[in-house]
Amino acid sequence: MLYWFLKWIALGPVLRLVFRPKADGVEHVPEEGPAILASNHLSYADWLFMPLTLNRRVTFVAKAEYFTTPGIKGWFQKKFFSGAGQVPIDRSGANAAEGAMKSAMKILAEGDLFGIYPEGTRSHDGKLYRGKTGVARLALETGAPVIPCAVVGTDVVAPAGKVYGTWTRPAVRFGKPLDFSRYAGMENDRYILRSITDEIMYEIMRLSGQEYVDLYASKAKELDKEKAKQAAAEQAERDRAAREEAGDGPEPEKKAS
């Protein structure tokens, strides 16, 4: 009930009025029955704009901390995320991936739409990164079609590390459903899972126009942090050397009195 209130009365109309999001390929999303919406992930606003373009409810999994914060703030936070179509998952334990898989399978078994970000985390630089194979396993175990999706412009509206960004009109693009029934029963074959995932990521790349990097997003973030740290150290060393060189130079001549 709260989901539809937020979508059609409270939050949705405001977002539509202010940002006027564009949608292409909505006809590829089935009007009923389960389907996996596999999307790129540029911003925390992605899960707001993508469902906004559809008449059906889209459910995502979110980290459990959003639902367990104590106090009044935690209560409102839990109500908001639950109402916005999120279900909690503990991502800290060793069985986090399995817990997410079970939640997703339950949602699809009920005939609903399930939204997933195969990259596993937001892109920190706007590029599209290697997808994790959970989306492929989910498709094979449930038999649900995978609909590639690209969200464009949300990283401008809501950039990482900022409360708000610059106005732009976000776009949501849905591709044709991908059917992987030919691989039924092969959900434990890691080569098949990788092949399926790469096919999904290719379609997302085609829709989004992003540069693709065959590296996990989390690893790319680590490498970029290391590069930035190294660059800062090298700059500090150059600055130190410049100060020492300036200090060793000849003193300016004193004017005769």
pLDDT in tens, 49-92: 999 999 999 999 877 777 777 888 777 777 777 776 677 776 65
Per DSSP (E only), the strands in the chain are: 22-24, 35-39, 58-63, 86-89, 113-116, 128-129, 146-152, 171-174, 212-213
Contact present, 46 and 86 (Cβ < 8 Å): no
- Name the CATH code of domain 2-213 (choices 3.40.190.10, 3.40.50.300, 3.40.1130.10, 3.40.50.150): 3.40.1130.10
The more confident residue out of 104 and 96 is 104
Q: Do the Cβ atoms of 154 and 208 come closer than 8 Å?
A: no
Domain layout of the chain by residue ranges? 2-213, 217-245
